[in-house]
A and B are shown apart, each in its own frame.
Chain A
């Protein structure tokens, strides 16, 4: 069963310091990020491909690309 486990890169937002500017949303090629009710960026983990564009763009540098096992 464990043989099918793979590592994938995904974006994670440090929510309490996100300023909800939406710069990340604009650059995401997968449209995987949304600004939730004007307060914080939320990443849809199923569509994010971990390209890191959002993390480079984020003016507050609050997005981290982490490896997750799926």
Chain B
């Protein structure tokens, strides 16, 4: 099938992850993966981002498909249940707000900058090599560490479910995917 420029956006996703190893401030770019899908859903009432421009989905599709790193088995039933998908979305949001709160504390001077990336909301990985001081407030860096943690965690989770199940299993419970579908449903008044 004919390839389009947007079939190569997985390169951007990969670059994003790599840049975070060198300078954590690049993590801010990840906000694009939050705002673009929301704009598609909120304004267009569609999932144009998922359907076309999501580099992360493409990356899993490529690694699991072309590179054969996936067992290509069906995801378990509970994983595609509404309960799990919405539950995971809520959990993701809570952790996201906790990260924002943490950033706020650093901005307010109540906490010092933690130069670590938290994987799976639990494991603190030292990451000081990617921080070289900044012209900006330490809070700017704190947000970068927090946001990169979110991105890395979701990549790791997605990677494992790619190995175990179908290449793009992450798309089944991806919070952005669930949220944009929900927005589209509400917008199109299709919620039963």
A-B pairs with CB below 8 Å: how many? 83
Interface residue count on the A side (C-beta < 8 Å): 21
A47 within 8 A of B: no
Residues of B within 8 A of A35 (CB): 46-47, 51
Q: Interface majority SS on A: helix, strand, loop or mixed?
A: loop
Min distance, Cβ B133 to any Cβ of chain A, angstroms: 41
Q: Are B45 and A38 in contact (CB under 8 A)?
A: yes
Partner of B167, one of A19, A59, A62: A59
B40 contacts which chain A residues (CB < 8 A)?
38
Question: Interface readout for A15-29 with B: 1 if CB under 8 Å, 0 if not?
Answer: 001011111011101
B192's nearest neighbour on chain A, judged by CB, is A16
A60 within 8 A of B: yes
Cα of A25 to Cα of B187 in the assembled complex, Å: 22
Contact indicator B184/A21 (Cβ below 8 Å):
no
In Å, the complex CA distance between A59 and B167 comes to 7
B: residues with CB less than 8 A from A are: 1, 40-41, 44-48, 50-52, 57, 61, 72, 74-75, 80, 85, 165-172, 177-178, 180-181, 183-185, 187-188, 190
Q: List 14 A-B contacts (CB under 8 A).
A: A17-B80, A19-B181, A20-B51, A21-B57, A21-B177, A22-B50, A23-B57, A35-B46, A35-B47, A37-B184, A37-B187, A38-B41, A39-B188, A57-B166
